[in-house]
């Protein structure tokens, strides 16, 4: 009888639940970031990630109508050979059963572009969280991914989509020995031995994917989300407080923990702390017995003592985001007031800002660093501060750092020039004589070139760059657009159209005197101008012809057979010969940008963040949701690379 039971159990093991393919958790694939500009063109190696359960898998790819093996005995993070953008991937278990296929995230997002511009610099701008380690610190960057800072050298080790994170918008991080818990806009991630080994999101029991606070706790972590708190271990996820937002989780020196949720609550039970108004948003807690100091975003620093809450100190904005005590001094990340040192008796004793070596006057985070030093996170980067020696060392930041609004792109096979609110950044090797342009101040709103001459259009001045010489030419009015047509430089903005007069070396009024909302050349002799009332064609002599009544176009693109007009109401196709207009309403969304490749259907960037083919409406694959941030425009450089411009920087995608 006992033998029969053993046989039945064995049959059950072989044919029961394990005979069904277990869907791999959080399967995702992303094109590996290139080391240089040339790597953006053509096929790229692909990295595949899933939750590490200790098992090996076979990876199959399909792009020619059939599946073929591209890796055997693979583990998460496997790098495959170069594959085309349209490839689909799946995992196959030892029983031969395949998972649901996934596409590849092919676009290089703002953080990836920043890393391409300066590999050893911070890829992002805004520092949302810091967590010290023996070797340095982990840094969470809004739209810049996760970075590991080396205290001995001014360099970083970046983690983004290609390194396994579910998103590059990172809100929180907490070191836990040799590993790190990371809160992102798409869930919680665990980094161990330099790799992302596990991801949790709403499908796994988190109250929300937006994880804005994390705190290790024994064999797991407290995860604070936009809609509540959860206790997470490798085997369980248990919601504790829902549905409201968790602002912070603070571990005390006496092993107690607090959570900023409807005021302040104690862990693990989540009971409210007496005396704290539930309407307050608590961002950090400092215990200096018998006092408890609270950082809030509306009342500054408050003091809780014997159940009575009273004001202690507040910056002008009322926002205090972090507290750190070193010795008897309390250091406050005080928003636009910078880093402030408070004493128990004197109140503010010292403040640090940009003039004192910080990257910015706006400080979001402060934590204790190496002995006698502080890690300080700002809205423009991170610094290591010696409070006693009045020294602040900022970390180098990429000239194309994610988080900086993008304005324009110009480039060909060997180089790309990026224009942003902070000036210019270059990828690849710029033409001889143009390097000095990188020192021009921001914001740069437009770029144009004719043969060996570069024009950099700023807020009040235009700069002509040629043969190593920079010449400043004042602009007659505010400018938002620029285009070269048949040897003439045209600029447009709220005050209308202007043309550069080379003989007089100044800009003169053009034939359009109303506000210009979009411009483009047709590759020949016509300039197309969008105004609030019409689409206008301007020839080389300055003569104009009005076409359709416009819907305040946001973008224009010209092909040999048509002019494409994008607006908040959708897309229109204008035939210049007949004047006929097609309303392409099937897109269903506002158009923020248009770009053309020779011989191809134009690309359209929609206000949903998607990129589609303009005429067919077919989506362009390979762009991760939210990777480009809030899109403001689209352009195609001379090498055919498609660039999305956004409030968080530049995103480049292939076909």
- What are the tens digits of pLDDT across the range 224-259? 999 999 999 999 999 999 999 999 999 876 667 899
Alpha-carbon dihedral angle through residues 333, 334, 338, 342, given to the nearest 10 degrees: -80
- Cβ within 8 Å of residue 447, ≥6 positions away: 408, 409, 410, 417, 419, 454, 455, 456, 457, 482
pLDDT of 616 reads 81
Q: Using one digit for the tens of pLDDT, what is the confidence trace for 342-376?
A: 988 778 899 999 999 999 999 999 999 999 999 99
Round to whole Å and give the CA distance between 280 and 261. Answer: 9
Residue of 399, 371, 366 whose CA lies nearest to 383: 366
Separation of first and last alpha carbons in the chain? 65
**pTM score above 0.95:** no
Cα angle 360, 363, 365 (rounded to 5 degrees) comes to 135
* 19 has pLDDT over 50: no
For the chain, the helix, strand and coil percentages under 3-state DSSP, each to the nearest 5? 5, 50, 40
Strand partners, 180: 175, 191
Residue of 504, 464, 458, 514 whose CA lies nearest to 484: 464
pLDDT of 74 reads 95
Cα angle 230, 247, 315 (rounded to 5 degrees) comes to 165
Pull the structure tokens for residue 594: 């248009």
* 266 has pLDDT over 90: yes
Q: Mean pLDDT score of the chain, rounded to an integer? A: 90
Alpha-carbon dihedral angle through residues 82, 595, 108, 65, given to the nearest 10 degrees: -30
Q: What are phi and psi of 223, to 5 degrees?
A: -120, 115
CB 159 within 8 A of CB 145: yes
Q: Domains of the chain (ranges plus CATH)?
A: 24-105 (2.60.40), 110-399 (2.130.10.10), 400-653 (2.130.10.10)
| HSE-CB of 359 using CA atoms within 13 angstroms | 23
- Cβ within 8 Å of residue 548, ≥6 positions away: 534, 535, 565, 572, 574, 579, 581
Round to whole Å and give the CA distance between 180 and 164. Answer: 13
CB 144 within 8 A of CB 110: yes
pLDDT of 75 reads 95
pLDDT of 654 reads 67
Q: What is the per-residue burial (b if ≥16 Cβ within 10 Å, else e) of 468-477?
A: eebeeeebee
* 438 has pLDDT over 50: yes
Round to whole Å and give the CA distance between 637 and 642. Answer: 7
Going by pLDDT thresholds of 50, 70 and 90, the confidence category of residue 8 is very low
CA 444 to chain centre: 20
Share of residues in the chain with pLDDT > 70 (%):
95
Round to whole Å and give the CA distance between 436 and 454. Answer: 11
Pull the structure tokens for residue 486: 């048949």
Q: Using one digit for the tens of pLDDT, what is the confidence trace for 206-233?
A: 999 999 999 999 889 999 999 999 999 9
Contacts 24+ apart (CB under 8 A), 210-213: 210/171, 210/185, 211/171, 211/172, 211/183, 211/184, 211/187, 212/171, 212/172, 212/183, 212/245, 212/246, 212/247, 213/171, 213/172, 213/183, 213/246, 213/247, 213/248, 213/249, 213/259, 213/260
Radius of gyration of the chain (CA): 28
Strand partners, 322: 333
CB 316 within 8 A of CB 337: yes
Residue of 622, 571, 577 whose CA lies nearest to 594: 571
User: How does DSSP classify residue 618?
Assistant: P
* 409 has pLDDT over 70: yes
Length of the chain: 655
Going by pLDDT thresholds of 50, 70 and 90, the confidence category of residue 651 is very high
Mean per-residue pLDDT, 535-561 = 87
Round to whole Å and give the CA distance between 118 and 131. Answer: 24
CB 128 within 8 A of CB 137: no
Round to whole Å and give the CA distance between 191 and 198. Answer: 8
* 609 has pLDDT over 60: yes
DSSP of 194-248, one letter per residue? Answer: TEEEEEE-GGGT-S-S-EEEEEEETTEEEEEETTEEEEEESS-EEEEE-SSPP-E
User: How does DSSP classify residue 3?
Assistant: H
| HSE-CB of 629 using CA atoms within 13 angstroms | 26
pLDDT of 549 reads 72
User: How does DSSP classify residue 430?
Assistant: P
Residue linked to tokens 């301007």: 538
CB 254 within 8 A of CB 266: no
Query: How many other CB atoms are there within 10 angstroms of residue 188's CB atom?
Result: 25
Determine if the peptide bond prior to 443 is cis (ω within 30°). Answer: yes
Q: Using one digit for the tens of pLDDT, what is the confidence trace for 390-408?
A: 889 999 999 999 999 999 9
Alpha-carbon dihedral angle through residues 9, 12, 14, 15, given to the nearest 10 degrees: 170
Going by pLDDT thresholds of 50, 70 and 90, the confidence category of residue 532 is confident
* 584 has pLDDT over 90: no
Round to whole Å and give the CA distance between 536 and 484. Answer: 16
Mean per-residue pLDDT, 19-45 = 84
pLDDT of 137 reads 96
Round to whole Å and give the CA distance between 492 and 522. Answer: 16
Round to whole Å and give the CA distance between 89 and 67. Answer: 9
- Cβ within 8 Å of residue 210, ≥6 positions away: 171, 185, 225, 226, 227
């Amino acid at each position: 009888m006992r033998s029969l039971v053993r046989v039945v159990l064995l049959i059950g093991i072989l044919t029961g639940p394990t005979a069904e393919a277990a869907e791999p958790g959080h399967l995702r694939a992303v094109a590996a970031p290139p080391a240089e500009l040339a790597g953006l063109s053509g096929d790229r190696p692909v990295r595949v990630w899933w939750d590490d359960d200790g098992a090996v898998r076979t990876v199959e790819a399909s792009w020619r109508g059939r599946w073929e093996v591209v890796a055997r005995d693979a583990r998460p993070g496997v790098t495959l050979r170069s594959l085309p953008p349209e490839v689909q991937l799946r995992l196959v278990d030892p029983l031969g059963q395949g998972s649901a296929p996934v596409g590849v995230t092919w676009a290089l997002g703002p953080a990836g572009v920043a890393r391409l511009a300066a590999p050893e610099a911070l890829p992002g701008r805004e520092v949302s969280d810091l967590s010290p380690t023996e070797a340095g610190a982990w840094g969470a960057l809004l739209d810049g991914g996760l970075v590991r800072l080396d205290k001995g050298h001014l360099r970083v080790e970046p983690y983004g989509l290609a390194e396994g994170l579910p998103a590059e918008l990172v809100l929180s991080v907490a070191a836990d020995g040799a590993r790190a818990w990371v809160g992102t806009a798409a869930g919680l991630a665990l980094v161990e031995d330099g790799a992302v080994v596990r991801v949790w999101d709403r499908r796994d029991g988190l109250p929300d994917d937006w994880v804005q606070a994390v705190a290790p706790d024994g064999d797991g972590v407290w995860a604070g989300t936009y809609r509540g708190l959860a206790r997470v271990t490798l085997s369980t996820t248990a919601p504790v407080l829902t549905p409201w937002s968790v602002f912070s989780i603070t571990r005390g020196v006496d092993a107690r923990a607090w959570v900023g949720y409807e005021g302040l609550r104690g862990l693990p039970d989540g009971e409210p702390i007496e005396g704290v108004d539930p309407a307050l948003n608590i961002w950090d807690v400092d215990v200096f017995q018998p006092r408890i100091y609270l950082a809030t975003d509306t009342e500054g620093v408050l003091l809780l003592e014997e159940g009575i809450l009273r004001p202690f100190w507040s910056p002008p904005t009322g926002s205090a985001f972090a507290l750190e005590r070193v010795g008897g001094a309390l250091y406050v990340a005080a928003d636009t007031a910078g880093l402030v040192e408070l004493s128990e008796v004197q109140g503010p004793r010292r403040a640090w800002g940009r003039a004192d070596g910080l990257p910015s006057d706006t400080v979001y985070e402060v934590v204790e660093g190496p002995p006698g030093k502080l890690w300080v996170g700002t809205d423009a980067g991170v610094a290591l501060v010696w409070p006693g020696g009045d020294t602040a060392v900022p970390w180098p930041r990429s000239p194309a750092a994610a988080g900086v609004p993008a304005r324009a792109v110009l480039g060909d096979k060997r180089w790309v020039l990026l224009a942003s609110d902070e000036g210019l950044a270059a990828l690849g090797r710029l033409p001889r004589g143009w390097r000095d342009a990188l020192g021009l101040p921001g914001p740069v709103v437009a770029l144009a070139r004719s043969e060996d001459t570069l024009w950099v259009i700023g807020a009040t001045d235009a700069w002509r760059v040629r043969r190593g010489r920079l010449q400043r030419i004042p602009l007659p009015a505010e400018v938002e657009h620029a285009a070269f047509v048949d040897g003439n430089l045209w600029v447009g903005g709220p005050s209308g159209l202007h043309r550069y007069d080379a003989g007089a070396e100044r800009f003169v009024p053009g034939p359009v005197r109303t506000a210009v909302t979009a411009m483009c050349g047709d590759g020949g002799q016509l300039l197309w101008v969008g105004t609030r009332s019409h689409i206008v064609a301007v020839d080389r002599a300055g003569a104009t012809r009005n076409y359709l009544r416009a819907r305040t176009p946001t973008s224009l693109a010209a092909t040999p057979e048509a002019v494409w007009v994008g607006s908040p109401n959708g897309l229109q196709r204008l035939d210049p010969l007949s004047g006929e207009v097609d309303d392409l309403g099937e897109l269903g969304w506002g158009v923020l940008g248009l770009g053309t490749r020779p011989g191809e259907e134009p690309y359209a960037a929609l206000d949903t963040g998607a990129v589609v083919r303009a005429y067919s409406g077919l989506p362009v694959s390979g762009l991760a949701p939210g990777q480009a941030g809030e899109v403001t425009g689209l352009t195609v450089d001379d090498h055919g690379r498609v660039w999305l411009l956004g409030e968080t920087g530049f995103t480049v995608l292939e076909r």
